[in-house]
């Protein structure tokens, strides 16, 4: 059973290999923007993005995640700007200004009301299309071993990837013919193995040139972990079928939510037929699974167009709702299973904005 708290792509930092753990990172990014940057294809362009599934991550460095506030950021420690930026620009004393603080800007004086902003966020926000297939997610501690099987129906080039938060963890595979594949299989020209310490977590990837279709077996083994370690195992199949979710970014408390998701080939050609479910992780740590339909009767548009829809109305708890989509079907005589993620924020039931407020540039 997948646990959505670990199903969001947890670690997308330092994908490029020429970066080093000492690079400065900035954690002052809104959780919504962070999630978008961690989606395909943006995570290839922004490799230093880390998404952590918490109710609110807004420039904070929680001790239970990063230890004793050791993350080097423009937020923490507060001397990072002076120590890192000043030398790079040849200055010894200068101030930092936000780009939109330019008083000569033609936008000076323009005001976007909070109400207008919330109206925009209450409109459907579509995620990027990524050909991902979640396999398993969970936690390890001590010398735990997690094992299981998964199906690959696409021949060609694929990747099997494991992300975990830290510690000594190993991923081994067995192909459908019973051949073992591990990090010692470097002499096999059909496999490339990559292990990266990103600074926030670790990543192991098997890049398979000629993928055998059929049932694969995985074994994830830990070595004397002294604390619980989250992990996520997923595959990137060669056939570019992807799920693209669409939900509002924000809604008032107890509002019905229109949830839709599109299944497509190469993010362009609709893939109709099949089935779709959405596992919803609520802010109170409960979850439920709903079925989406492509029948023209569930806010999904025309029937059989690859767009699935449903209404979700259990939004009485304010906070962050994570959604894991799972699509299963067949396309061009090839079966597929693909997953995708989305999220929305529901206002607290006691949230109230009253009176008049104003601000001005500094």
- Based on the fold, state whether residues 244 and 229 are members of the same structural domain: no
Task: Give the HSE-up count for residue 258: Cα atoms under 13 Å, Cβ half-sphere.
Answer: 11
Q: Which two tokens stand for residue 336?
A: 């597929």
Phi, psi of 205 (to 5 degrees): -135, 130
Please answer whether residues 277 and 292 qualify as being in contact, where contact means their C-beta atoms are separated by less than 8 angstroms: yes
Concatenate the DSSP letters of all residues of 283-326 into one string. TTS-EEEEEEB-SSSSS-SSTTSSEEEEEE----S-EEEEEEEE
Please answer whether residues 173 and 216 qualify as being in contact, where contact means their C-beta atoms are separated by less than 8 angstroms: yes
CATH of the domain at 271: 2.60.40.1930
- Based on the fold, state whether residues 294 and 261 are members of the same structural domain: yes
Going 56 to 57 to 59 to 62, the CA torsion angle's sign is positive
**Domain contains 295:** yes
**Domain contains 351:** no
Going 187 to 189 to 193 to 194, the CA torsion angle's sign is positive
* Measured distance CA(312)–CA(109) in Å, rounded: 39
Residues 6+ apart with CB under 8 A from 19: 47, 48
- Based on the fold, state whether residues 267 and 226 are members of the same structural domain: no
Please answer whether residues 159 and 238 qualify as being in contact, where contact means their C-beta atoms are separated by less than 8 angstroms: no
- Based on the fold, state whether residues 205 and 296 are members of the same structural domain: no
- Based on the fold, state whether residues 170 and 268 are members of the same structural domain: no
- Based on the fold, state whether residues 232 and 145 are members of the same structural domain: yes
Instruction: Give residue 213's domain range.
Output: 133-236
Q: pTM (2 decimals)?
A: 0.68
**Which residue reads 């966020």 in tokens?**
121
H/E segment holding residue 31? helix 31-37
Partnered with residue 216 across adjacent β-strands are 150
pLDDT in tens, the chain (362 residues): 333 332 233 333 322 222 333 333 444 444 445 555 555 455 555 555 554 444 333 343 333 333 334 444 444 455 655 665 566 556 666 654 433 344 444 444 344 555 676 677 788 888 888 899 999 989 999 999 999 999 999 999 999 999 998 899 999 999 999 999 988 865 678 888 988 877 668 889 999 999 999 999 999 999 989 988 989 999 999 999 999 999 998 899 999 999 999 999 998 899 999 999 999 999 888 999 999 999 999 999 999 999 999 999 999 999 889 999 999 999 999 999 999 999 888 988 876 666 676 666 65
* Measured distance CA(243)–CA(338) in Å, rounded: 6
**Domain contains 188:** yes
Q: Please count the structural domains in the chain.
A: 3
- Based on the fold, state whether residues 148 and 226 are members of the same structural domain: yes
Q: How far, in whole angstroms, is CA 167 from its chain's centroid?
A: 21
Q: Which two tokens stand for residue 216?
A: 């694969």
């Amino acid at each position: 059973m997948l646990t959505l708290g670990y199903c969001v792509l947890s670690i997308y930092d330092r994908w490029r290999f020429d970066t080093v753990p000492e690079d400065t990172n900035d954690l002052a990014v809104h959780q919504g923007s962070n999630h978008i940057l961690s989606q395909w294809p943006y995570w290839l362009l922004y490799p230093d993005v880390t998404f952590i599934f918490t109710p609110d991550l807004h420039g904070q460095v929680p001790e239970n995640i990063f230890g004793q506030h050791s993350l080097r950021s423009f937020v923490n420690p507060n001397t990072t700007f002076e120590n890192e930026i000043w030398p790079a620009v040849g200055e010894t004393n200068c101030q930092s200004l936000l780009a939109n603080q330019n008083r000569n800007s033609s936008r000076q004086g323009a005001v976007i009301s909070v109400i207008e902003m919330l109206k925009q966020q209450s409109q459907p926000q579509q995620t990027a299309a990524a050909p991902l297939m979640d396999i398993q997610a969970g936690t390890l501690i001590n010398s735990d071993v997690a094992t299981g099987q998964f199906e690959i129906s696409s021949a060609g080039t694929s990747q099997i990837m494991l992300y975990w938060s830290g510690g000594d963890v190993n991923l081994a595979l067995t192909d459908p013919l019973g051949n073992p594949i591990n990090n010692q299989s470097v002499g096999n020209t059909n496999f490339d193995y990559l292990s990266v310490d990103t600074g926030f977590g670790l990543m192991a990837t098997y890049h398979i040139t000629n993928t055998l279709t059929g049932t694969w077996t995985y074994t994830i083994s830990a070595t004397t972990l002294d604390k619980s370690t989250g992990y996520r195992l997923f595959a990137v199949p060669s056939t570019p079928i992807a799920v693209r979710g669409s939900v509002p970014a924000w809604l008032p408390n107890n509002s019905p939510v229109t949830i839709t998701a599109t299944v497509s080939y190469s993010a362009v050609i609709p893939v109709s037929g099949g089935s779709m479910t959405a596992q919803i992780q609520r802010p109170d740590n409960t979850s439920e699974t709903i079925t989406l339909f492509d029948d023209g009767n569930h806010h999904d548009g025309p029937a059989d167009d690859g767009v699935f829809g449903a209404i979700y109305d259990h939004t009485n708890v304010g906070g962050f709702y994570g959604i894991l989509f799972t699509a299963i079907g067949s396309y061009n005589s090839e079966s597929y299973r693909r997953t995708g993620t989305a999220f929305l924020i529901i206002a607290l039931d006691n949230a109230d904005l009253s009176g008049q407020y104003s601000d001005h540039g500094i």
